[in-house]
Amino acid sequence: MPGLAEPKELLLRLLDPAHRADPYPLYSEIRERGPIVIPEANFAVFGTYAQCDEIFRHPASGNDRLKSSVAQKAVAEGQPARPFGQPGFLFLDPPDHTRLRKLAQKAFAPRVVKALEPEIVALVDQLLANLKPDSEFDVIAGLAYPLPVAVICRLLGVPLSDEPKFSAASGLLAQGLDPFITFTGEVSDTFSDRLEAGHWLRGYLRDLVGQRRGDPREDLISELIAAEEDGDQLTEDEIVATCNLLLIAGHETTVNLIANAILAMLREPRHWAALAADADRASAIVEETLRFDPPVQLSSRVATAEMTIDGITIPAGDSMMVMMASAQRDPQMYDDPDTFDPDRGAIRHLAFGLGPHFCLGAPLARLEATIALSALTARFPNARLAGDPVYKPNVTLRGMATLPLTL
């Protein structure tokens, strides 16, 4: 196709931080070109809604990275199978995935989450209490990050006072989800730092599990320990891996939802004013943000058997990149996809995934974002952007490091 970049160049551009503020033109190129298949590296990249939807629904789509032919080859060459230890259940397939998800699920059921509402409202009030109109405010440091972090720490039973210690580790580990090795065949510069952070965080959580064994509380760590002691349904490694997954998910996702919604509204200030005047609009804002600028931009699957996606044969063991952020700007699926339009009506999107791995935290993320956005707009109906946002380098869990406002 004339005018389109070479496939590999396109993928390298996707990793380039220069495109982080606006990767959407690259996604559009990926959709136009059709799936990018790199057989010699055993992977393919898919960017339309129909393709991503099909991969998520396909019974042969696996999540255990160890089943990929690239991982199998590395293990055969003597490399450790799982350098970061037991994976969280996001990266497991049934039956282990089903068993572990079921144990964590209770804590995130919509009814249980709804009961957290007064506490989340109080946390938001506390974060906004001392702010004055017309003052400068960094949305990330002041609201979008501390809110979900406080909530997940409270749910898990991780002392918030230890937060400075593990927020750096969580940030580094989030970068591990970037498709760096897949696209380049090499580990990134931060690999050894991530390995160290991973071991440190698991050690921290293992110590906490040890403490809770002797002194159970009303928290998820204690519930998981009780399940282990009751029926031997999970091992200590699995408890630690589950807590690790939830802690990182709680740190690195909802922050982006809140901040991306604020940025989108303030770029079209009538949306800000409309929400300030009518808190009921918050849910439509949240859903359109999840479509327009999703906190998790992509995911991947391993073909556990030969698959055919949109006419392309994927051999067993190959990996498939599922570009949700691209799928959600697919003009075949949405009218005027590059416009932020909370009034576009019922929005089907893939921002929380689909199928057996559908995001466990979705009700919690939606509740936190709804409360935070309606409270901030109501208190500061005339807020405006005070400069350009600065993005973190992350490709997958893409989000801002700072977002300055004048309130």
366 Cβ contact partners less than 8 Å away, ≥ 6 residues apart: 283, 286
Minimum CB separation of residue 149 from ligand HEM in Å reads 10
Least CB distance from residue 241 to ligand HEM, whole Å? 11
CA distance 365 to 265: 18
Cis, bond preceding 95 (omega within 30 deg of 0): yes
Closest of 188, 190, 175, 180 to residue 321, by C-alpha: 180
**DSSP 8-state class, residue 336:** S
Is 249 a residue that touches ligand HEM (CB under 6 A)? Answer: yes
> Does the footprint of ligand HEM cover residue 320 (CB under 6 A)?
no
365 near ligand HEM, rule: CB under 6 A: yes
Contact map string, positions 85 to 114, toward ligand HEM, x by CB under 6 A: ----xx----------x-------------
- Of the candidate residues 62, 146, 361, 389, the single one contacting ligand HEM (CB under 6 A): 361
| Binding residue (CB under 6 A) for ligand HEM from 11, 128, 220, 296 | 296
Nearer to ligand HEM, 160 or 277 (CB): 160
Q: In the set 254, 326, 370, 374, which binds ligand HEM (CB under 6 A)?
A: 254
Task: Enter the tokens of residue 320.
Answer: 């498939």
359 binds ligand HEM (CB under 6 A): yes
322: left (phi over 0), alpha (psi -120 to 50) or beta: beta
Q: How far is CA 238 from CA 81, 227, 249, 346, 378, in A?
A: 16, 12, 16, 38, 43
Pick 233 or 406: Cβ nearer ligand HEM: 233
- How far apart CA 265 and CA 341 sit, in angstroms, is 10
Give me the sheet containing 136-138, strands edge to edge.
Answer: 136-138, 404-406, 384-385
Ranked by CB distance to ligand HEM, the top (closest) residue is 361
Using CB under 6 A as the binding rule, whether residue 391 contacts ligand HEM is answered as no
Structure tokens, 18: 């220069």
Shortest distance in whole angstroms from residue 152 CB to ligand HEM: 5
Selected from 11, 14, 103, 152, the binder of ligand HEM by CB under 6 A is 152
Residue 257 as a binder of ligand HEM (CB under 6 A): the answer is: yes
- Of the two residues 30 and 243, which places its CB atom closer to ligand HEM in the complex? 243
Give the residue with the Cβ less far from ligand HEM, 89 or 204: 89
Q: Which is nearer to ligand HEM, 249 or 262 (CB)?
A: 249
Contact residues for 74 (Cβ-Cβ < 8 A; gap 6+): none
From the list 285, 215, 295, the residue with the least C-alpha distance to 254 is 295
Pairing of strands 319-322, 312-314: unpaired
Residue with Cβ nearer ligand HEM (329 or 357): 357
Hey, CA dihedral for 92, 96, 99, 104, is it positive or negative?
Answer: negative
Q: Is residue 327 close enough to count as binding ligand HEM by CB under 6 A?
A: no
Q: Find the shortest distance in angstroms from Cβ 90 to ligand HEM.
A: 4
Q: Six-digit token pair at 51?
A: 């393709």
Within 10 angstroms of residue 222's Cβ, the number of other Cβ atoms is: 17
Q: Which two tokens stand for residue 117?
A: 């509402």
**Taking CB under 6 A as the rule, does residue 253 contact ligand HEM?**
yes
Residue 265 is a binding residue for ligand HEM (CB under 6 A): no
* CB of 386 vs ligand HEM, minimal distance in Å: 24
Q: What residues line the site for ligand HEM (CB under 6 A)?
A: 89-90, 101, 152, 245-246, 249-250, 253-254, 257, 294-296, 299, 351-353, 357, 359-361, 364-365
